[in-house]
């Protein structure tokens, strides 16, 4: 049977396959893609117009959740915190670039350093957050060090001060992220011809000029990639906050995602949580769009 069928296939339709074959391959992934990505995206809009909560039959309540959102100072506060958190983006764009340039030199042992720098990336965020919590707590390593150097006389409660805590959390995000983006830039540096850098050197360009006029233009697409990834990452920060501060003190580290988490899974207001989630959704789309536009423009000039 098989023999007979394969003969005409071989002669006449060597490249033909049944029309449904690609769809058979696609089917499982496509179903999961729709069910777990697009259905939730649409479903979220519906929920946000209801008073859904565990155990109640949810009812349509129009724009009530959104109205409540707009009049809730805690929501605005958390939105502001999320924007504030974008401060990590420039750090994650620049520090890894400097390290990558450093690591791109042909120096003995440079591979070992590269490995060590990537180490934080593979550590569990829970572990990293716990370590930093032990460093920054009132009787933690940092205060002990600063006091033994007589820089301060009294321990500073870094994580209990509303004006400081969020910067400690940001530090954790930055510390853990540097290695990843360094590898991204190292991949980018492979695309910069060494002759270009050498000729700039011969022409007498100093380090800053070489970075400004050779490296940055060549690495621009990579910098944009890092910017997009770091921005999306900053909007999704959760574990660091959960472990280090739990959103406090005085909600000073409650970002939008943390606010959604609390509204939904601590207060069980699914409808309200979904409405706040829609704001994250829209923000992510807007940021992505703006940054793609930005990268596209620069890329062509």
Partner 1 sequence: MVGSRRNLGTFLSYAAMTLGAIIFVGPLLWVVSTSLMGPDQNPFVIPPQLIPHPATLANYQSVFKTWPFGEYLLNSLELAVLSVAGTSIISTLTAYPLARMDFAGKRIVFALVIATLVLPGEAVLVPRYLLVNFFGMVNTFWGVAVPGFFSGFGVFLLRQAYLTLPKELEDAARIDGAGELRIFAQIMTPLVMPSLAALAIFTFLGSWDGFLWPLIILNSQKMYTAPLGLAYFFGYFGASWQLIAAASIIVVLPVIIVFVSLQRLFINGVTGAVKG
**Residue 120 makes contact with partner 1 by CB under 8 A:** yes
Q: What string of H, E and C letters represents the secondary structure of 162-204?
A: CCCHHHHHHHHHHHHHHHHHHHHHHHHHCCCCHHHHHHHHHCC
Q: Which of these ranges, 41-49, 63-71, 86-94, 158-166, lies near partner 1 under the rule CB under 8 A?
A: 41-49
**Residue 194 makes contact with partner 1 by CB under 8 A:** no
**Which residue, 119 or 250, is less far from partner 1 as judged by CB?**
119
**Which residue, 96 or 214, is less far from partner 1 as judged by CB?**
96
**Residue 217 makes contact with partner 1 by CB under 8 A:** no
Three-class SS state of 238 = coil
Residues 122-141 that bind partner 1 (CB under 8 A): 122-128, 130-135, 139-141
**Residue 89 makes contact with partner 1 by CB under 8 A:** no
Residues 140-179 that bind partner 1 (CB under 8 A): 140-141, 144-145, 148-149, 175, 178-179
- Number of residues this chain uses to bind partner 1 (CB under 8 A): 94
Q: Which of these ranges, 64-72, 75-83, 160-168, 268-276, lies near partner 1 under the rule CB under 8 A?
A: 268-276
Residues contacting residue 168 through CB under 8 Å, at least 6 positions apart: 132, 136, 158, 159, 244
d(CA 298, CA 294): 6
Q: Which of these ranges, 69-77, 81-89, 111-119, 159-167, lies near partner 1 under the rule CB under 8 A?
A: 111-119
First to last CA, the chain: 61
CB of 70 to partner 1, least distance (A): 19
Q: What are the CA-CA distances from residue 156 to residues 56, 62, 135, 164, 169 (Å)? A: 47, 48, 12, 10, 16
Reply yes or no: is the peptide bond before residue 261 cis, omega within 30 of 0.
no
Q: Which of these ranges, 60-68, 73-81, 209-217, 231-239, lies near partner 1 under the rule CB under 8 A?
A: 231-239
**Which residue, 163 or 245, is less far from partner 1 as judged by CB?**
245
Residue from 49, 75, 85, 180 touching partner 1 (CB under 8 A): that is 180
CB of 21 to partner 1, least distance (A): 5
Q: Are 234 and 86 spatial neighbours (Cβ–Cβ below 8 Å)?
A: yes
Residues contacting residue 264 through CB under 8 Å, at least 6 positions apart: 270, 272, 273, 274, 277
**Which residue, 104 or 251, is less far from partner 1 as judged by CB?**
104
Residues 245-264 that bind partner 1 (CB under 8 A): 246, 257, 260-261, 264
Q: Which of these ranges, 59-67, 69-77, 84-92, 234-242, lies near partner 1 under the rule CB under 8 A?
A: 234-242
**Residue 286 makes contact with partner 1 by CB under 8 A:** no
Q: Which of these ranges, 23-31, 74-82, 162-170, 209-217, lies near partner 1 under the rule CB under 8 A?
A: 23-31
d(CA 224, CA 93): 9
Q: Which backbone phi and psi does 60 adopt, to 5 degrees? A: -70, 125
* Residue 97: count of CB within 10 angstroms of its CB: 24
**Residue 242 makes contact with partner 1 by CB under 8 A:** yes
Q: Are 232 and 287 spatial neighbours (Cβ–Cβ below 8 Å)?
A: yes
């Amino acid at each position: 049977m098989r023999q007979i069928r394969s003969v005409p296939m071989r002669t006449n339709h060597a490249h033909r396959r049944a029309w449904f074959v690609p769809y058979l391959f696609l089917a499982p992934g496509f179903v999961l893609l729709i069910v777990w990505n697009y259905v939730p995206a649409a479903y979220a809009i519906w929920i946000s117009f209801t008073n859904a909560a565990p155990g109640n039959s949810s009812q349509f309540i129009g724009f009530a959740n959104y109205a409540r959102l707009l009049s809730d100072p805690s929501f605005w506060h958390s939105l502001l915190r999320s924007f504030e958190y974008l401060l990590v983006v420039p750090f994650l764009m620049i520090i890894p670039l400097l390290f990558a340039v450093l690591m791109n030199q042909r120096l003995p042992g440079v591979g070992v350093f590269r490995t060590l720098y990537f180490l934080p990336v593979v550590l569990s965020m829970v572990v990293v957050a716990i370590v930093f919590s032990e460093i920054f707590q009132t009787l933690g390593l940092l205060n002990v060090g600063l006091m033994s150097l007589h820089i301060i006389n009294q321990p500073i409660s870094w994580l209990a001060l509303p004006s400081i805590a969020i910067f400690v959390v940001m530090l954790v995000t930055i510390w853990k992220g540097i290695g990843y983006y360094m590898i991204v830039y190292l991949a980018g540096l492979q695309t910069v011809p060494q002759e270009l850098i050498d000729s700039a050197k011969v022409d007498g360009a100093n380090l800053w000029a070489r970075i400004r006029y050779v490296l940055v233009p060549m690495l621009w697409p990579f910098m944009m990639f890092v910017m997009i990834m770091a921005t999306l990452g900053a909007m999704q920060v959760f574990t660091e906050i959960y472990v280090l501060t739990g959103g406090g003190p005085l909600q000073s580290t409650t970002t939008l995602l943390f606010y959604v988490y609390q509204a939904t899974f601590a207060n069980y207001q699914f409808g309200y949580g979904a409405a706040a989630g829609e704001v994250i959704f829209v923000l992510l789309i807007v940021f992505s769009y703006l940054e793609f536009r930005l990268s596209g423009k620069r890329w062509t000039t």
